[in-house]
Amino acid sequence: NLAAFEAQEKFGDYDGTDVFGDDVGAYLPAKFYDPDNVDEIKAKIYDTYQQLSGYDSFACKTNYLDYVKAWKFYGSAYFYAEPITNKILGKEFPKEVVLGVNAKGVLIIDPQNLDLLHELPYSEIVTWGYSARNFVFVVGNLVRSRKMFFETEEGLEMNSLIYAYINKLMEVEKLKA
């Protein structure tokens, strides 16, 4: 989809010509580019590209950004941490994880394969805290909650980001009321 938006923005409406030539790999993340399947990759891109006929440059850029903003990892700041226990919330975690803090919540990511292990939306975080070497999330609700402890030296930075995001969310909610 992103390659099609980029092609529409750069080349205008699709007219049947091969606008990528031998350079289709420049429009794709490396993990999606397979030199043995270039024709199949191009066909998929061109199918979407044709559907974008009539989109001007601004619409392509806006749709591109809207598409990317929907990703769970969008806008995340990443911090290495070690779970104090390897089992949290009934799940097994590796010895080291990456905590991704963004406008929607906190992501727990496996740094080896980049798998999303757990997602903590701010609505599930009751409170949080940090010390020089630790960070804790209290998740759940006021009746039933559980603590998630992590060892990290980046607690102050994480705290500042989470605090700013939650304050912004509260401001938005006040404006709605």
The pTM of this model reads: 0.79
Nearest-angstrom CA–CA distance, 166 and 104: 9
Question: Residue 32: its pLDDT value, please?
Answer: 85
Question: Residue 120: its pLDDT value, please?
Answer: 95
Question: Residue 91: its pLDDT value, please?
Answer: 81
Token readout for 89 is 């919330």
Question: Residue 86: its pLDDT value, please?
Answer: 63
Tens of pLDDT along the chain (177 residues)? 899 999 999 999 999 999 998 889 899 988 888 889 999 999 999 999 999 999 999 999 999 999 999 999 999 999 999 999 766 667 889 999 999 999 999 999 999 999 999 999 999 999 999 999 999 999 988 788 889 999 999 999 999 999 999 999 999 988 887
Question: Residue 90: its pLDDT value, please?
Answer: 73
Helix (H, G, I), strand (E, B) or coil at 136: strand
Determine the longest span between alpha carbons in the chain, in angstroms: 62
Task: Write the single-letter amino acid at 102.
Answer: N
For residue 37, report the phi and psi dihedrals to the nearest 5 degrees: -125, 35
Task: Write the single-letter amino acid at 35.
Answer: P
Task: Please give the torsion angle defined by the CA atoms of residues 69, 105, 124 and 147, in that order, rounded to the nearest 10 degrees.
Answer: 150
Nearest-angstrom CA–CA distance, 6 and 50: 12
Contact 49, 14 (CB under 8 A): yes
Alpha helices in 12-105 (DSSP H): 38-51, 57-69
Question: Residue 15: its pLDDT value, please?
Answer: 94
Nearest-angstrom CA–CA distance, 134 and 150: 6
Contact 63, 55 (CB under 8 A): yes
DSSP state of 140: E
Task: Write the single-letter amino acid at 156.
Answer: L
Nearest-angstrom CA–CA distance, 147 and 158: 16
Residue 95 CB contacts under 8 Å (≥ 6 apart), including other chains: 82, 83, 86
Question: Residue 113: its pLDDT value, please?
Answer: 93
